[in-house]
Amino acid sequence: MPQVPIIMPQLGESIAEATIVSFLVQPGDSVEADQDIIEVETNKANMNLAAPCRGRIAQFTAKLNESYPVGAALGHIEATQEETVRLGLDVAPAKPAGDTEQLQSSTQTGTESGRRGVKPTIRGLPVPAHAAGASYMSPRMRARMNELGLHAADLAGIAGSGAAGRVTIEDFEKYITNLEKQKLTQASTMRVAVADAMRRSWTRPLATVGLPALMDPLLAHRKNSNPKPGPALYALRALAIALAENSAPAGRLVGSKIVHPSSIDVGFAVEAEDGVLVPVIRGADKQSLKDLVPRYNELVELARARKLPTDATGMSIATVTNYGTFGLVLATPIPLPEQTLVLGMGAGRKVPHWDEAKGQFLPVIEANLTLSFDHRVLDGGAAGRLLTRIADLMTHPEQL
């Protein structure tokens, strides 16, 4: 009898392979067309594969817990000639044991049947069959990773040798063995915590907008102030005022709900030994810039000494980071996992600025401001308007 192959289908736009979880029928069983016969696992969900036609399961060539790319033959169904004709398939009769059965393409054009045979193909997939690569992990691989306390990001340096470029357990063990031959040092607790936070943050679609802001008014204001606010504190206070006017941009998306902040608590990044700490100023919108200076300076010193009190950490709605202290003029910081926003400020530079009143270029101090955000909550327009408002407040520091 003709044998029809059971083909691994395209199970989703970005699915390039799947792992066999269980066989729902056994060789020799009779099945109906569209009956579930194999359970598979993708990197998104568990799914069932259906029989392509009515017939009897001849064999399964696929193995449990092994992964197969889209288009791979997983087994064969013995079907009657009438069934294959009904499906528009022109299938070669079964060959002796040991031969591989294939669907044969037919291009009949005469009056005998008027049907055109069909040959399975993986051409025209939305993504290449090898696109999943190391992003797909089998249950066995995940178990081994969990055993060693590793994450998927730790596999970035491994070239996979498995189906469709998948990293196999053999690739992984070889990689670990080679690592042990190199110099290894224990990462600090803070470095591990930062790495975990950044991994969780990167699960969201993040975007950044930026614009240059005139710093001369801020610098003049700071020169005449006592005590003198730090540049990041100007940015923090401007962000707090802007969010007090409209807190929606700082909301967090949870399911289908936007969770609005109950208080404008803003953090600021402080470089500490082997990492970054983020002290938090509570109710930053309710205190003037001058009143915030002592608390800000106190928290900076406590952070550097790694002695921050618990009431000055966590539960903030946004962060300010002054990457200009490292001489950087542009960067794209990543918001903390529990936040939607991070405001960044680059180093000030002297640049020519056109003065309409005087009709000439004048030297000014300018710094880039960036706003990185969770694109699920904010679009570019809303983020741009928020950043424009922040820049306007910073160029009019008397409003802070």
pLDDT at 33: 87
- Looking at CATH, the fold of the domain delimited by 1-129 is given as OB fold (Dihydrolipoamide Acetyltransferase, E2P) (2.40.50)
Flag the least confident range among 6-10, 39-43, 92-96, 139-143: 92-96
Contact 150, 157 (CB under 8 A): no
User: In sequence order, which ranges of the chain are alpha helices (DSSP H)?
Assistant: 81-86, 139-148, 169-179, 189-201, 216-223, 231-245, 289-304, 380-394
Tell me the pLDDT tens digit for each residue of 63-122. 998 989 888 999 999 988 887 777 666 555 554 444 444 433 333 333 333 333 333 333
Taking the C-alpha atoms of residue 375 and residue 206, their distance in angstroms, rounded to an integer, is: 5
pLDDT at 45: 66
The model carries a pTM of 0.62
State yes or no: pLDDT of 123 exceeds 80.
Answer: no
DSSP assignment string, 143-173: HHHHHHT--GGGGTTPPP-SGGGPPPHHHHH
Q: Which residue, among 207, 212, 233, has the nearest Cα to 332 in the 3D structure?
A: 207
- Looking at CATH, the fold of the domain delimited by 133-184 is given as Dihydrolipoamide Transferase (4.10.320)
pLDDT, average across residues 332-354: 93
Domain ranges of the chain: 1-129, 133-184, 205-399
pLDDT at 235: 96
Asked, colleague to colleague, whether 1-129 and 133-184 share their fold, the answer is no
State yes or no: pLDDT of 256 exceeds 70.
Answer: yes
Residue tagged 């992003």 (tokens): 135
State yes or no: pLDDT of 328 exceeds 80.
Answer: yes
pLDDT, average across residues 187-214: 87
How far from chain centre, in Å, is Cα 365? 36
What mean pLDDT, rounded, does the chain reach? Answer: 83
> Per-residue confidence at 299, pLDDT binned at 50, 70, 90?
very high
Flag the least confident range among 87-101, 200-214, 226-240, 246-260: 87-101
pLDDT at 163: 65
> Per-residue confidence at 321, pLDDT binned at 50, 70, 90?
very high
Q: Which tokens in the block code for residue 192?
A: 């591990």
> What is the percentage of the chain residues whose pLDDT exceeds 70?
84
User: What is the dotted CATH code of the domain comprising 205-399?
Assistant: 3.30.559.10
pLDDT at 144: 82
pLDDT at 115: 34
pLDDT at 300: 94
